[in-house]
Amino acid sequence: MGELTTGRGLNQQLGLSRACDTRWGSHYKSFNNFILMFGSILEVLESLALDARSMDERAKATGHLESCRTFEIASFMLHLMRDILAITNEPNKCLQGKEQNVANAMLLVEVAK
C-alpha cells in the first residue's frame, strides 16, 4: 500500500535484532521472530526481487530469497538454532540478572548440558 507506520510498543515486538548484538537472548528472540515472520519476509524479498531500483539490489534480494527457500534454511537450520538457543536461554537470563544466584545458575547450566 506504500504506507509505513513506525513507533514504539507492540509494533516492535516482532522485530529482528541487529547482527552486531552480542547477547544470546537477543539471538534467541531474533530466531523466534524470524520463524514467525518467515512468510512475510519471503513476500518482501519477492517484492524486492521484482521491484528494486538497482540491479544489485534485485540480485541480492533474489539470492536471499533462493537461500531462504531451501529446505536447509527454512526447516532445519532456523529450528535447530532456535531449539539450541531455547535450551541456553534460561541459564543466560539467570546469569545476566541483577541478582546472581550462583547455585541456581549452576543447576540451569547442568540442565542445559
pLDDT tens for the 113 residues of the chain, in order: 456 555 555 455 566 666 555 666 677 888 888 888 888 889 999 999 999 999 999 999 999 999 888 877 777 888 888 888 888 888 878 877 777 778 888 888 888 88
Q: Is residue 103 part of a domain?
A: yes
Number of domains in the chain: 1
62 alpha-carbon distance from chain centroid: 20
**Beta carbons within 8 Å of 112's beta carbon, 6+ residues apart:** 87, 88, 90, 91
Q: Is residue 1 part of a domain?
A: no
Q: Is residue 71 part of a domain?
A: yes
Q: Which domain holds residue 39?
A: 23-112
Q: Is residue 55 part of a domain?
A: yes
**Helix or strand or coil: residue 22?**
coil
Q: Is residue 75 part of a domain?
A: yes
This prediction's pTM? 0.63
**Among the listed residues 66, 78, 72, the one whose alpha carbon sits nearest the alpha carbon of residue 36:** 78
